[in-house]
Structure 1
Amino acid sequence: MMDLFEKCYNPKENSALYDAKVAQERGLYPYFLPFEGTEGTEVTYNGRKIIMLGSNNYLGLTHHPKVKEAAKKAIDEYGTSATGSRFMNGTLKIHRELEEALAEFLNKEAVIVFSTGYQTNLGTISALLSPKDYAIMDKEDHASIVDGWSMSHAKFSRFDHNDVDSLEKVLQKIPEEAGKLIVIDGVYSMAGDIAPLPQIVELKKKYGARLMVDDAHSIGVLGKNGRGTANYFNMENDVDLIMGTFSKSFASLGGFIAGDKEVIDYIKHYARPFIFSAAMTPSSAAAALAALHVMQEEPERIEHLWNIANRMRKGLKELGFDIGTSNTPIIPVYIRDKWKTVMMWKELFDLGVYTNPVFPPAVQPNDSLLRTSYIATHTEEQIDRALTIFEKAGKKLGIIK
């Protein structure tokens, strides 16, 4: 008889679990490290300070006094939990305040907030699509977008990354009478490049599709005061749905979807991850709202973020590292070989720099990389030290000359 747990005890060679066990045996396992403390740009591990180049805390707001104070105040006022779904007893005044502020910020009629960003994509896409509709996605879209399609049972087509010619070929094959939802990332979380939104909008209109932009890594980074990809290209009226998360620039936890009031009302009543999950905690909602205010009050944070990222991008290029087509504060360092990527991660970590090692299927085969990302509060001294460490590690492993 087949034992369901057989794969747990005896993983197949080259599977994710097999590789994890090999890495653990070699002392190279890079995941689930228990950090003892964090100051945003640095973390503490086994009493040792390490420069953090793997955080999505783009604006450095996790330790901002206004954000922390708002979270504490919300706990005093509402307690630690909403204790129910938004449909029932879980809707709080702070949720409505956050939704209204986001709608105004994004120039959209309405917003609803979810408990996580993953649930936002899962709920929105599965609610809007039916088996007779089509989901059209970039090949590097986030996994939560793909999972939202899977839950919807809609038909599915993918186009080559940021390739508008490939997108048009896909759209040409879809029946005119079918419902079509194009879903893209505004900024791609691994390659760090920006979607060609103007050309995608042109095709959306030509073929009668709707367009959803996942701005998880764009809000707080692109556009006026960090309003995201649509604002960056001055195309807010051309993007039907804007999705975002609170776990990055907003220094909190949760997600949101913004669009026309009627569409948001529909999602409210059909998105199972929204209906059947407990509401955002009061402290998370309050922290996100406070972060939104800081974003607008301190635009110099975004400017400094870009200065830091541009300096690091220039430095890595000059050292000879392959950073692909990144043009945002997400900068991949392509190593290509899986085990050499792990060894480079370990060498950097031991020297005092934390990065995120990424392997297939999170990236394409032979695209294993170290994902680095930057924070508005990184100092010039930290960036200089990080570049020195990258140079030392890269030369030791023969990745650069």
Structure 2
Amino acid sequence: MMNWMEKELAALAEQALERSLTSSAPVPGRPGYVMRGERMLLNLSSNDYLGLVGHPVIIEAMREALLIEGAGSGASRLVTGNRLPYRHLEEALAAWQKSEAALVFANGYAANVGVIQALAGRGDVVFSDQLNHASIVDGITLSRAEHARYRHNDMEHLRLLLNKHRDKRRKLIITDTIFSMDGDCAPLHELAALKQEYGAMLMVDEAHSGGIYGPRGEGLCHKLGLSDEVDVHMGTFSKSFGVYGAYVSGSHTLIRWLINKARPLIYSTALPPSLVSGISQALALVQADQWRRERLIAASRLFRSLLGKAGFEVGSGDSPIVPVIVGDNDTALRFSSALAEEGIAAVAIRPPTVPEGTARIRFSLSAVHTDEELSDAAASIRTIGVKLGVLKS
């Protein structure tokens, strides 16, 4: 009955597209490293941008709440799962974002799917950058709204689509601020202007910019002074915060609407209170530890410079996501394996996560990486690039 799966899996394997799970473990006392089997590898694939995953203050807050609140929440937030730590966190999030209110979701995927479904439906249109995260694409599909994809960061194409759909009932523009596979940023000033001109709503996904940019890590919109132009802010706690979960911030009306209409929130068991308490501590650290942001930006600029001098095209900027595009899937896998042999964990990213012909190694930096570690890694990456024919010798 299920032989078709074996056939499809064989086809994926033939195209170097089959995925599998690899066990990893933290290395006590060595932040920025990961254990794979018996080997300790420099971790250049984690989203732990600020190095908070193992922070003792966060762990202690979770431990204390675990003893008081128990292992789980026991129900959805609209039943009996809305424990006191949620209120404390959401009040702190709203103050941090300088918004009227905030709402915690289980994760970024659930937040994007829930918000988009709540804001758009049949008869509406959602304008989405073609490189937006899969959760945004799936949210639009499930909403049953028309999906108008504009070419990556192409504001003239977006304008054409806005003109085409100017008579639609509701219009929602949505974008990542930092794109997860390319590390570049959205043209937020232009997006805000188009939103005003065409009477659309604007939603931004700050998953890969929250904690990194802004005076207290609020995100790229705050850094650029555009937070008041954005109707819906979404961010995650699984990257810079080193924990898990997501939030949406905006007006009181928006949050009331989501509580009533966002299906992933309504029909999911609430996050454990101990985890929510840990997030609150992470939020305090994100705001207070400016040195982590400064170190991460410096490390990102150094690593980009080193790879650029080695001959790779990595683009400009200071985001901690640094992709090296190698082209075909098999080369990406061999590149990743060769890096592991050199003591570096860096995963091959292949379609459908990225477009066909753009398989890559996606390097992801952390504030805990030292200049020496990054310099040594860049030298190894260059050597492998030459060996595999990605770079000319």
Please report the TM-score for the alignment, with normalisation by the length of structure 1: 0.94
Instruction: Provide Cα deviations, 1:247-296, integer angstroms capped at 9, x if missing partner.
Output: 11111111111111111110111111100101111222112111110112
Maintained 8 Å contact 2:15/2:329: no
Give distance in 2, aligned partners of 1:229 and 1:359. Answer: 27
Identity %: 35
**Residue in 2 that maps onto 1:90:** 81
The Cα of 1:9 is off from its aligned counterpart by 1.8
- Pairing partner for 1:360 from 323, 345, 351: 351
**Residue in 2 that maps onto 1:306:** 297
Give distance in 1, aligned partners of 2:95 and 2:353. Answer: 34
**Residue in 2 that maps onto 1:207:** 198
Maintained 8 Å contact 2:182/2:322: yes
- Pairing partner for 1:371 from 362, 366, 376: 362
1:106-185 alignment runs, 5 A limit: 106-185=97-176
Give distance in 1, aligned partners of 2:358 and 2:82. Answer: 43
Look up the equivalent residue of 2:7 and give its one-letter code.
Answer: N
Matched, 1:33 2:22: yes
Matched, 1:283 2:274: yes
Matched, 1:216 2:204: no
Maintained 8 Å contact 2:300/2:320: yes
Runs of 4+ in structure 1 off by over 4 angstroms are: none
316-325 or 209-218, larger mean C-alpha shift? 316-325
Give distance in 1, aligned partners of 2:168 and 2:40. Answer: 58
Instruction: Provide Cα deviations, 1:300-345, integer angstroms capped at 9, x if missing partner.
Output: 1100000111100000000011224554111001101211111111
Give distance in 2, aligned partners of 1:40 and 1:80. Answer: 27
Give distance in 1, aligned partners of 2:36 and 2:152. Answer: 37
SS of residue matched to 2:216: helix
Maintained 8 Å contact 1:123/1:273: yes
Give distance in 2, aligned partners of 1:399 and 1:175. Answer: 45
Look up the equivalent residue of 2:338 and give its one-letter code.
Answer: E
**Residue in 2 that maps onto 1:392:** 383
Matched, 1:19 2:16: yes
Instruction: Provide Cα deviations, 1:192-220, integer angstroms capped at 9, x if missing partner.
Output: 01111001111110101000000000101
The Cα of 1:145 is off from its aligned counterpart by 0.6
Give distance in 1, aligned partners of 2:132 and 2:6. Answer: 32
Matched, 1:56 2:47: yes
Give distance in 2, aligned partners of 1:179 and 1:35. Answer: 45
1:322-361 alignment runs, 5 A limit: 322-324=313-315, 327-361=318-352
**Residue in 1 that maps onto 2:61:** 70
Give distance in 1, aligned partners of 2:199 and 2:59. Answer: 45
Look up the equivalent residue of 1:260 and give its one-letter code.
Answer: S
Maintained 8 Å contact 2:124/2:168: no
Give distance in 2, aligned partners of 1:135 and 1:123. Answer: 14
The Cα of 1:233 is off from its aligned counterpart by 0.9
385-394 or 53-62, larger mean C-alpha shift? 385-394
Give distance in 1, aligned partners of 2:106 and 2:191. Answer: 30
Give distance in 2, aligned partners of 1:89 and 1:69. Answer: 25
1:187-202 alignment runs, 5 A limit: 187-202=178-193
SS of residue matched to 1:181: strand
261-270 or 65-74, larger mean C-alpha shift? 65-74
Give distance in 1, aligned partners of 2:236 and 2:13. Answer: 27
Counterparts in 2 of 1:228 and 1:371: CA distance versus 1, 3 Å:
same
- Pairing partner for 1:10 from 7, 11, 24: 7
Counterparts in 2 of 1:236 and 1:20: CA distance versus 1, 3 Å:
closer
Maintained 8 Å contact 1:138/1:162: yes
Maintained 8 Å contact 1:12/1:18: no
Give distance in 2, aligned partners of 1:296 and 1:171. Answer: 37
The Cα of 1:385 is off from its aligned counterpart by 1.9
The Cα of 1:7 is off from its aligned counterpart by 2.6
Counterparts in 2 of 1:44 and 1:248: CA distance versus 1, 3 Å:
same
Instruction: Provide Cα deviations, 1:125-151, integer angstroms capped at 9, x if missing partner.
Output: 111111011111000000001111111
Maintained 8 Å contact 2:333/2:348: yes
SS of residue matched to 1:43: strand
Give distance in 1, aligned partners of 2:149 and 2:317. Answer: 22
Maintained 8 Å contact 1:191/1:326: no
Maintained 8 Å contact 1:251/1:287: no
Aligned residues: 390
Maintained 8 Å contact 1:221/1:228: yes
The gaps in structure 2 that reach 5 residues or longer are none
SS of residue matched to 1:267: helix
Give distance in 2, aligned partners of 1:20 and 1:339. Answer: 9
Counterparts in 2 of 1:138 and 1:317: CA distance versus 1, 3 Å:
same
Look up the equivalent residue of 1:134 and give its one-letter code.
Answer: V
